[in-house]
Structure formats: structure tokens, C-alpha cells
């Protein structure tokens, strides 16, 4: 056997190819000595123990690799999870903040709505009051004018009646005076027929006509 014996050493630590060419290209010398056939027994034994060692090595390496794969798979899952959970955390935070903001917005808009409503009512009230005040002023002015008109009508009437009464008074005075005058002269005339002295006294009174 000229090749492969030391193959085990060369392949040591090279995972994946422990069965090197030495095991595939091995050739054995013929057995020597009388009555012996086949391969050289010693070489075959050496080969068998070599392949045993190599198979053991392969098995060990397989187990190692399987472990390594499991480990890597676990690592990978962990990393994926971590990436996803960072995204999840952001999305979760975004969603929490969004909800908080919406709550704040609802409060603010309720306040704005309330202030708007109060203002709009105040404006209506203001306009109504202004209109009412204006109407009241107009009404007061109308009443005042009416009263003024009434007053002047009354004054006219009083003046008219005063004039009438004064006229009445004057004419009554004239009538009464001339009646009394006439009466006096009549009395004087009648009385004078019997007493000259009385008619002289009566004649001292001037008649109404003369006194005017």
C-alpha cells in the first residue's frame, strides 16, 4: 500500500471531506508466503482501521454540523424576531401616540366647538338686543311725537275756547250793560213824570253809549 495511510492526518479538521482519495484509490499488494492467497492481511487490517476512524470522524462532524445548524437557525429566528419586534414597538408606539393625539384633538375640538357655540349665541343675543333697543328707541320717539302733537292740539282748543269765552264775556257784558242802562233810563223816565228831582239825578248818569 503506497497511498492513503497518512490521509487521515491530512484531512484532519477539514470538515466535509474526511474520506479522501486515499480510501478510494487504495490498492493492496498480494499476500506473500506459501499457501496464502488474496491481499496482504496486514495492509487490509490497516485499511479497515483507517476507514473506521474516518467514519467515526464523519459521524462526529455531522453531529457538530447539525448542532451548528440548529444554533444558526435559532440565532436567525432570534434576529428575525428582534427586527420584527423593533418594527412592532415602533408601530405600537405610533398607534398609542395616535390614539392619545386623537383623544387630545377630540378634547380641543369640543372646547373649540363649545366656544364657537357660546360665541354664536352671544352674537345672536347681541344682534337681537341691538334690534330690540333700536325698536324701543323708535317706539319711544313715536310716542313722544304723538304726545307733543296731542299737547299742541289741546292748547289750540283751549285758546279757541278762551277766545270764544272772551267774546262771549264781552258780548254778555255789552248786553247786560245796555239792558241795565235801558232799565235805568226807563225807570228815570217813568219816575221823572212824578218827581223832577229823581229825573235830574238819573240824568247825571251818562248812558252806556256815552261812556264807551
Q: Among 36, 95, 162, 195, which residue sits at the site for other proteins (rule: CB under 8 A)? A: 95
Residue 116 and residue 99: Cα distance in Å, rounded? 25
Residue 212 and residue 170: Cα distance in Å, rounded? 13
- What part of residues 73-92 is at the interface with other proteins (CB under 8 A)? 90-91
Q: Are the C-beta atoms of residues 21 and 11 closer than 8 Å to each other? A: no
Q: What is the DSSP letter of 146?
A: H
Check binding of 207 to other proteins (CB under 8 A): no
41: which 3 cell numbers?
492481511
Phi first, then psi: what are they for 194, rounded to 5°? -100, -25
Which lies closer to other proteins via its Cβ, residue 25 or residue 102?
A: 102
Give how far Cα 5 sits from Cα of 20, 40, 53, Å. Answer: 11, 15, 12
Size of the site for other proteins (CB under 8 A): 25
Which lies closer to other proteins via its Cβ, residue 77 or residue 108?
A: 108
Which lies closer to other proteins via its Cβ, residue 63 or residue 130?
A: 130
Residue 54 and residue 56: Cα distance in Å, rounded? 5
Question: Which stretch in 22-30, 62-70, 99-107, 192-200 sits in contact with other proteins by CB under 8 A?
Answer: 99-107
Chain residues binding other proteins by CB under 8 A are 90-91, 93-95, 97-98, 101-102, 104-105, 108-109, 112-113, 115-117, 119-120, 122-123, 126-127, 130
Amino acid at each position: 500500500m503506497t497511498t492513503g495511510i497518512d490521509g487521515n492526518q491530512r484531512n484532519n479538521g477539514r470538515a466535509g471531506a474526511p474520506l479522501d482519495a486515499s480510501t478510494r484509490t487504495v490498492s493492496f499488494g498480494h499476500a506473500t508466503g506459501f499457501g496464502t492467497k488474496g491481499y496482504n492481511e496486514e495492509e487490509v487490517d490497516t485499511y479497515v482501521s483507517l476507514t473506521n476512524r474516518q467514519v467515526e470522524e464523519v459521524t462526529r462532524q455531522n453531529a457538530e454540523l447539525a448542532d451548528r445548524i440548529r444554533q444558526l437557525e435559532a440565532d436567525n429566528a432570534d434576529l428575525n424576531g428582534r427586527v420584527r419586534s423593533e418594527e412592532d414597538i415602533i408601530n405600537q408606539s405610533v398607534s398609542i401616540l395616535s390614539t392619545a393625539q386623537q383623544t387630545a384633538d377630540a378634547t380641543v375640538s369640543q372646547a373649540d366647538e363649545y366656544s364657537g357655540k357660546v360665541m354664536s349665541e352671544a352674537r345672536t343675543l347681541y344682534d337681537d338686543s341691538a334690534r330690540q333697543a333700536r325698536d324701543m328707541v323708535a317706539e319711544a320717539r313715536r310716542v313722544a311725537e304723538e304726545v307733543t302733537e296731542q299737547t299742541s292740539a289741546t292748547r289750540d282748543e283751549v285758546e279757541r275756547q278762551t277766545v270764544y269765552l272772551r267774546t262771549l264775556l264781552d258780548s254778555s257784558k255789552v248786553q247786560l250793560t245796555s239792558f241795565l242802562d235801558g232799565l235805568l233810563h226807563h225807570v228815570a223816565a217813568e219816575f221823572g213824570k212824578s218827581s223832577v228831582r229823581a229825573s235830574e239825578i238819573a240824568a247825571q248818569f251818562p248812558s252806556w253809549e256815552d261812556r264807551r
